[in-house]
Chain A
Amino acid sequence: MSSTPRTLLDKIWDAHVVCTPPGELPLLYIDRHLVHEVTSPQAFEGLRLAGRPVRRPEATFATPDHNIPTTDRRLPIADPISKQQIDTLRNNCREFGVRLFDLGDADQGIVHVIGPELGITQPGMTIVCGDSHTATHGALGALAFGIGTSEVEHVLATQTLRQAKPKSLELRVEGSLHPGVTAKDLVLYLIGRLSTEGGTGHVIEYTGPCIRRLGMEERMTVCNMSIEAGARAGMIAPDQITFDYLRGRDYAPRNFDRAVAEWERFPGDPDAVFDRVEIFQGGDVVPQVTWGTNPAQVVGIDATVPDPTAFGDPNERESGSRALDYMGLRGGTKIVDIPLDRVFIGSCTNSRIEDLRAAAGVVRGYRVAPTVHAMVVPGSGRVKRQAEQEGLDRVFRDAGFEWREAGCSMCLGMNPDTLTPGQRCASTSNRNFEGRQGKGGRTHLVSPAMAAAAAVTGHFTDIRHWLYR
Chain B
Amino acid sequence: MQPFIRHTGIVASLDRANVDTDQIIPKQFLKRIERTGFGQFLFFDWRFLPDGSPNPAFELNQPIVAGASVLLARRNFGCGSSREHAPWALADYGFKVVIAPTFADIFFNNCFQNGMVPIRLAEEDVEELFRRTRAAEAAGGPYRLHVDLPSCTVSDDAGFSRPFTVDPFRKRCLLEGLDDIALSLQHVDAIAAWEAAHAAPAGE
Contacts and interface: CB of A to CB of B under 8 A. Distances in A.
Contacts of A45: 33-35
Given A150-B84, A150-B113, A414-B30, A315 B17 contact: yes
A168 interface: no
B76 A196 contact: yes
A124 B106 contact: no
A159 interface: yes
Contacts of A125: 201
Interface in A232-265: 232, 253-260, 262-263
Contacts of B2: none
Interface string B154-177: 000000000000011110100000
Given A27-B184, A132-B82, A158-B185, A294 B194 contact: no
Contacts of A123: 202
Contacts of A380: none
Q: Which of B76, B184, B187 has the most CB of A within 10 A?
A: B184
A412 interface: yes
B181 A50 contact: yes
A162 B84 contact: no
A197 B102 contact: yes
A38 B84 contact: no
B26 A435 contact: yes
B181 A439 contact: no
Nearest to A18: B194
B184 A131 contact: no
B23 A433 contact: yes
Interface string B32-60: 11110000000001000000000000000
A1 to B, nearest CB: 14
B61 interface: no
A318 to B, nearest CB: 7
A412 B31 CA distance: 13
Q: Which of B103, B105, B169 has the most CB of A within 10 A?
A: B105
Interface in A90-148: 122-125, 130-132, 134, 146-148
A6 B133 CA distance: 48
A29 B194 contact: yes
B176 to A, nearest CB: 12
A154 interface: yes
A253 B200 CA distance: 10
Interface string A388-408: 000000000000000000000
A30 B19 CA distance: 30
A148 B82 contact: yes
Q: Which of B168, B184, B191, B202 has the most CB of A within 10 A?
A: B202
B104 interface: yes
Contacts of B84: 39, 42, 130, 148-150
**8 residue pairs, one from A and one from B, having the closest CB atoms:** A259-B203, A253-B203, A150-B113, A41-B33, A148-B84, A148-B110, A146-B82, A262-B202
20 contacts: A39-B82, A45-B33, A45-B34, A131-B82, A134-B82, A148-B113, A150-B110, A150-B114, A151-B113, A157-B184, A158-B191, A166-B105, A253-B204, A257-B203, A294-B18, A294-B79, A414-B31, A433-B22, A434-B22, A439-B26
Interface of A: 18-19, 21, 23-25, 27, 29, 31, 38-39, 41-42, 45-46, 50, 52, 55, 66-67, 79, 81-82, 84-85, 88, 122-125, 130-132, 134, 146-151, 153-154, 157-160, 162, 164, 166, 196-197, 200-201, 227, 230, 232, 253-260, 262-263, 294, 315-316, 318-319, 322, 412-414, 431, 433-436, 439
